[in-house]
Amino acid sequence: MKTSFRVLLTAALLAAGGAGIWYVRTPEGGAQLAALQTRVLGGAPVTTPAPATGSGAGAAGAAPRGIGVEAQQVRIGTVARDVSSVGTLLSSESVVVRPEILGRIGEIGFQEGTPVRRGDVLVRLDDAVQRATLEQALASLALSRVEESRADELFRQGSGSARQRDQARAKLLADEAAVAMARAQLAKTVIAAPFDGVVGLRRASVGEVVQPGQAIVNLEAIDTLKIDFRVPELYLPAVGIGQSLAIQVDALPEHRFTAEVYAIDPLVDVNGRSISIRARLDNRGHVLRPGLFARVALTIATRENAVIVPEQSVFAVGADQAVYRVVEGKAQLAKVLLGQRRAGEVEVVRGLGPADTVVTSGQLKIRDGVPVSPIAVPVSTPAAAPAAAPSASPPGGPAQASKAGS
């Protein structure tokens, strides 16, 4: 009797459980269960997934989506081969104004730090002594001319000797030289600008007695600047007149300037085994100043239509460098030979074509031959160089993000 009761109880419980499961799986039962869970637990209702139908089973059996990676198309541009060095900016012309004679400064004809033109009077010395000397020489010269003329007339008349005539002529020549010397001494009391430029800070004042060779002020021509730098002798065959170079100075880190090589020292420095090179750059705006320390990148070769990829797309495979290409929705390992590097980019000399798309992020998740789903990412084009330095940033169209594969 007890055994039959247990069997009947078990059967009833199983039937009730099955009916409950069936009821919950119906739309009405599922809604009531969700409402009850919300009231009791205060959380989001748990939905029971519907059983798979024939069409759903077919969708589940479709090919899985590829691994998501970031990728972009290679960029085609111009790559320059540069040699880095350091140099110093110099004035196109530079001189320290110094007197040639002893004298007292009577006038200063310039304002410190201002431009002057060639021939402008910078300093006048007191010239009283020099003018008196010139007048004395002129008076002596006038007498010598009269005596030379009288001696020559007496010699022609036979009343004078040839010796007297020759002495009179010699004295005339000496007095003429004395006048020329007095005029030269007088001219040295006026110091004029030898070229167009900008005067610096004066080191003397009006009324000061200056010695010959004493520095008064410096004059700098800075509309055009020169830059001297050195490169190793290894690059001797590659350097030449007319090559361009990019210049950066620490004082103006946001600017980049260009210059052109115009002179190469024929003598190689035996101490450092280096070549001295001088270049010229335009500085009409007076943005740069002589004496600045400069970082130089000399362009010795340029390659057009170079394949350029982001640095993060390249990784090491043993002793080689490689990238993942996206070919027909699959990752394909490609070993590459790299060339020049620059900020965020690297040139690929061999291993990629101009139409290839490379994986830039997610290489650790994939391997050769696996399906991938490229995610289009915005491509950052290298910033254009300032107008003063068009060659600092090689031309080339921006890279384009690859289309997402399935």
Residue whose tokens read 């005539």: 165
The percent of residues in the chain predicted with pLDDT above 90, rounded, is: 52
Residues 197/110, Cβ–Cβ less than 8 Å: no
- Tens of pLDDT along 107-133? 999 999 999 999 999 999 999 999 999
**pLDDT value at position 386?**
38
- Tens of pLDDT along 250-289? 999 889 999 999 999 999 999 889 999 999 999 998 999 9
Residues 110/217, Cβ–Cβ less than 8 Å: yes
The dihedral over CA atoms of 235, 238, 242, 245, expressed in degrees to the nearest 10, equals: -50
Give the Cβ contact number of residue 245 at 10 Å. 27
**pLDDT value at position 8?**
62
Nearest residue to 84 (alpha-carbon basis) of 231, 237, 184: 231
What average pLDDT does this structure show over 148-173? 89
**pLDDT value at position 398?**
35
**pLDDT value at position 204?**
93
Residues 141/181, Cβ–Cβ less than 8 Å: no
302-319 in b/e form (b: 16+ CB < 10 A) is: eeeebbbbbeebbeeeee
Best-predicted range by mean pLDDT (19-28, 77-86, 108-117, 392-401) = 108-117
**pLDDT value at position 291?**
94
**pLDDT value at position 300?**
82
Q: How far apart are CA 230 and CA 88, in angstroms?
A: 10
336 vs 81 pLDDT, higher one: 336
- Tens of pLDDT along 23-53? 445 555 545 544 544 444 444 444 444 444 4
58 Cβ neighbours under 8 A, 6+ residues apart: none
For residue 15, pLDDT over 90 is answered with no
**pLDDT value at position 28?**
52
